[in-house]
Structure 1
Amino acid sequence: MKKRRIILLWLFAGMLLVPGCTLKNAEASSENQSDTATNSEEQTVKDISEMFTDRDKEIGYDEEDSALITLADNGTLCDSDAVQISENTVTITEEGTYILSGTLSNGMIIVDAEDTDKIQIVLNGVEITSAQSAAIYVRSADKVFLTTASGSDNILTNGGTYTAIDDNNIDAVIFSKDDLTLNGAGTLKIKAEAGHGVVSKDDLVLTSGTYDITAASHGLSGKDSVRILSGTFTITSGKDGIHASNTDDSSLGFVYLADGSFKITAQDDGIHADSSTTILGGEIEIAQSYEGIEGLSIDITGGNISVTASDDGLNAAGGNDSSGFEGTGGDQFAATEGAYIHISGGVIHVNSEGDGIDSNGDLTVSGGETYISGPVNDGNGALDYNGEAVISGGTFVAAGSSGMAQNFGSSSTQGTVLVSVGSQEAGSVVSLQDSDGTELMQWEPDKVYTSVLISCPELTKDSTYTVSAGTYSEEITLDTLIYGSGQMQGGPGNPEQREMKGTPPDMDEGNKQGTPPDRNGENKQGGPGEAGENQGSSSDTGDSM
């Protein structure tokens, strides 16, 4: 959400997008994508093979070649020379596979090996609580693979505080200084009374398994990246559900979701990346968030995605969590370098109090189905962009307020209709029919709305259609491919602005400017357990990671 001065240009402003058309030609050609791409530099979605190694995906292990560690309070047993046991602290020092079972009511597992060592830890019915630190702490290794054994249930917990045991700022139930991969065919429950669920100061990779994470701060956090191939995730977090942040290297700090099932409830962003956010597929439900999905760039090529946000649903802004709230300073209407949103597939449902889709750069839609409910205040719009917005395929429908409405730009090759529809109740049907009376789309917005934006492959120039929304109905002829525009269409001052069709709704005097929700101070510099991820670097002493 970008703050703006609201001027009485609302007479021709006004729309929130309305969902709807029957998706035909949803998979627009990649040729059209290249023609309509509006980001300043050509962007490509990284292939899965670049993101995950064969070892990341391997969940098998040889018990005969593994060290067995049986956990018990003041009675942990292991016959390997590579395992050191001091009361309830177990330290692994060499490359190999280690199978853990049993319980520690107040203890921890530490990996302190050579930086060339790869270590696999198999959790086979483990319950570890660490009252004042991480349950599992990777101090040094090349890479650690944390595998849940088939059919096993495992619980890792922090008791609510983190007391320094070395120079590193440990602030998560699972905390790794090096690359960390989680996989397996079992279940892992993580409870962080303070701090985060899982943190890696390099890459955090998850390729399989079932995870139930409750965290006071971020659920999953990676400095260089968070990469998820598959798995089932239930995340309840006080900050971001999935978080990646790296201010040292602009190519890092990204989130990559290939597949999986996600249910995220966050007080801050559902998914946040300082760099790119890429979603290839999966079932993603963000049930509560400040901003739903955020990144400097957002690529969505597939998946079934549902987002509920108290601010923006999708936000291409970059920077730390506050970027979507206050902006980055300077000209609020200027495009941010590298910022874009590209939707080429998937089914996306957004319910937002702020902007439905907000790009500080370009917006490209070439496929998929996108449906947006909200906002209801005239200080936000269903569609908000600072660069260009181009649609060449797919279905894009939204219903919401009229005060900051935008339509797609004139470079679009697919028809769009933007109309003001008066005040309509939540659940009142939005539909589009062609001149033969064939219904092309039907959808029920979740909230009250005063404007509607519809784009689908069936919309063609010089054809006549009937747009209905609750008690409103109007027959329109697309004398131009882009029918109707809000006050900000095509960017501030764009000479292509034209009056939006339909009758503008009455302006609620108390609703001229949207009020951003309170972030409860979540973006302030935190103390121990608040992690330095929001500042893009670790608060660890003296090392760059």
Structure 2
Amino acid sequence: MLIDGCQLTITATGVAGRGISCDGDITVQSGGVTVQASGGGGTYTDPTGVVDAYQGPCLNADDDLLLAGGTISLTHTGSGGKGIAGDSDLTIGTAGAGPTLQIAVSGASISIGGGEYAEAKGASVDSVLTVEGGTLTLTSVDDELKAKVRLVINGGTINVVNALEGFEAPNLYINGGEVHINTTDDGLNATYGVYGEASDGSILNISGGYVHLTAPAGDGIDSNGSLTISGGTVVVHGPPNQPEVGLDVNGAFLMQGGLTAVSQINSNMNEIPLGTSTQRTVLVRTSTTINAGTLFHIENASGATLLTFRPNSRYSAVLFSSSALTAGVTYRVYTGGTCTGTLRDGLYTGGTYSGGTLRTTFTSTAVSQTVTF
């Protein structure tokens, strides 16, 4: 199915009704697609006696989905409803271009039994989900983007306004683009669905782009396997209460590049990268909780700023990594004060920092170290 240049408006009200469904591929090249669905799903018992759920997505394909351009608006209020569902791959945008995509999913979960549920999700595919470009504005009561094999962000601007979890896949790669995620649980979640503290072999790699996560009640980044950050900018406003943290990694955690700033609560769950990392990281912790909005500042002995950070939840630990951290150099840590620079998502750039309270000094003596005050 090819949609190119036309304007489609579809209202689906039937039980588990689908807006657009195709046994093959679906490509949206240009034009406009608006689907408003309200029909909820339910459960059924197959011939072998297994209970499962049926759900009605706004956009569904048995083969590949390509959203190359156009303006696409998908709204689902029915139980178990999804914005997009696919049995194969979903690709959004092309290099440097893409659609304006809005997904809003608000239906309740469907109880299958035995503690299993069929949840309402923004977009869910059985294979690979790739974002190459476009502008995405997404809201969901469960996962926003989920892929059973691999989820890759190469470009585009993605704004997850609100969701239970932002991105979930066993193999999750962010290579570019601009990502803003606000969740009530995990922002980024790499998992095979095997829960516990042991590594399940999943992979979460951030090599570029801009990632801004706010997780007031969950982990900002949660990998049940490994985490490698080798480029880009990563800003995490972690939870104000234990046991959740800004970063939770069951496997190997490597810091190889980029700039990372994570606020969180001081606990024995705080993670630091392995000493085999190639870029230096410091975890600064205190036994005193610092109020939300209080600046956290690191500078060298000459007064040159490495980090001025304004967490939006209370915190007592900050993890910071940057190529500016240098072996053998002594740094000063301040809290409070003001900054005249430009504030974006909690990070200040430029300007002058002043008026803070000196909390501690430290010398960078290891690739990965912890400092307390």
- Please give the residue correspondences for 1:292-331 in structure 2 after superposition, counting only pairs within 5 Å: 292-318=166-192, 323=193, 328-329=194-195
- 1:363, distance to aligned residue in structure 2 (A): 0.7
* Count of equivalent residues: 314
3-state SS, counterpart of residue 327 of structure 2: coil
Please say if residues 427 and 445 of structure 1, whose CA atoms lie closer than 8 Å, have aligned partners that are also in contact. Answer: yes
User: Distance in 1 between the 2:103 and 2:335 partners?
Assistant: 37
TM-superposed CA distance for 1:407, in Å, is: 0.9
1:243 aligns with 124
Aligned to 1:228: 92
Q: Which residue of 2 aligns with 1:474?
A: 360
Could you tell me which residue of structure 2 aligns to residue 188 of structure 1? 33
3-state DSSP class of the match of 1:270?
strand
5 Å-filtered alignment, 1:410-421, equals 410-421=275-286
Structure 2 residue aligned with 1:349: 212
| In 2, Cα distance between equivalents of 1:459 and 1:399 | 18
| 1:459 maps onto 2:313 in alignment | no
Q: Unpaired segments of 5 or more residues in structure 2?
A: 40-55, 107-119, 337-356
- Structure 1 position 316, deviation (Å): 0.2
Structure 2 counterpart of 1:340, which letter?
A: I
1:405 to 228, 246, 270: 270
Kindly report structure 1 stretches of 4+ aligned residues shifted beyond 6 Å: none
* Other-structure match for 1:381: 245
Contact 1:292 1:309 in 2 (8 A): yes
Rg (Cα) greater in structure: 1
Which of residues 141, 158, 161 is equivalent to 2:15? Answer: 161
Kindly state the Cα deviation for residue 472 of structure 1 after the two structures are TM-superposed: 6.4
2:132, 2:155 within 8 Å by CA — same for their partners in 1? yes
Task: Using the TM superposition, give the Cα deviation of residue 468 of structure 1 relative to its aligned residue in structure 2, in angstroms.
Answer: 2.5
Name the SS for the 1:182 alignment partner. strand
> What is the identity, as a one-letter code, of the residue corresponding to 2:175?
T
Question: Is the CA contact 2:74–2:103 (under 8 Å) kept in the aligned structure 1?
Answer: yes
What runs of 5+ residues in structure 1 fail to find an aligned partner?
A: 1-143, 163-170, 246-252, 485-500, 504-545
Matched with 1:450 is 316
Shift in Å, 1:306: 0.4
Contact 2:332 2:358 in 1 (8 A): no
Q: Which residue of 1 aligns with 2:154?
A: 280
Letter in 2 for 1:350: L
Structure number with the higher strand fraction is 2
Specify the SS of the correspondent of 1:397: strand
- How far apart are residue 156 of structure 1 and its match? 1.0
Q: Is the 8 A contact 1:361 1:385 kept in 2?
A: yes
Deviation at 1:443, TM superposition (A): 2.1
Q: Which amino acid aligns with 2:99?
A: G
Q: Normalising by the residue count of structure 2, what TM-score does the alignment of the two structures yield?
A: 0.81
CA deviation vs aligned residue, 1:14-33 (integer Å, no higher than 9, x gap)? xxxxxxxxxxxxxxxxxxxx
1:410 Cα deviation from its structure 2 partner = 0.9
8 A contact 1:235–1:264 mirrored in 2: yes
Which residue identity does 1:438 align to in structure 2? A
- Which residue does 2:71 correspond to in 1? 210
Cα distance in 1 for partners of 2:369, 2:86 equals 44
Query: 1:449, 1:472 → 2: CA distance?
Result: 17
Measured in 2, the distance between the counterparts of 1:178 and 1:358 equals: 35
SS in 1 for 2:82: coil
Higher relative contact order (CA 8 A, sep 6+): 1
Contact kept, 8 Å, 1:345 with 1:368, in 2: the verdict is: yes
Q: CA deviation at 1:419?
A: 1.3
Check the 8 A contact 1:148/1:188 in 2, yes or no: no
Contact 1:204 1:225 in 2 (8 A): yes
CA contact (8 A) 1:460 1:481 kept: no
| Structure 2 letter corresponding to 1:181 | T
Give the aligned residue type for 2:362. I
Q: Is 1:148 matched with 2:14?
A: no
Q: Distance in 1 between matches of 2:11 and 2:233?
A: 40
Distance 1:267 1:469 in 2: 36
Question: Where do 1:248-263 residues align within 5 Å?
Answer: 253-263=127-137
Q: How high is the TM-score relative to the length of structure 1?
A: 0.56
Aligned residues: percent identity? 30
Look up the equivalent residue of 2:8 and give its one-letter code.
N
Q: Distance in 1 between matches of 2:9 and 2:245?
A: 43
C-alpha deviation, 1:231, in angstroms: 0.6
CA contact (8 A) 1:174 1:198 kept: yes
Deviation readout 1:26-63 (Å, 9 max, x if unpaired): xxxxxxxxxxxxxxxxxxxxxxxxxxxxxxxxxxxxxx
Cα distance in 2, alignment partners of residues 293 and 473 from structure 1: 36
In structure 1, how many angstroms separate the alpha carbons of the residues matched to 2:264 and 2:33?
41
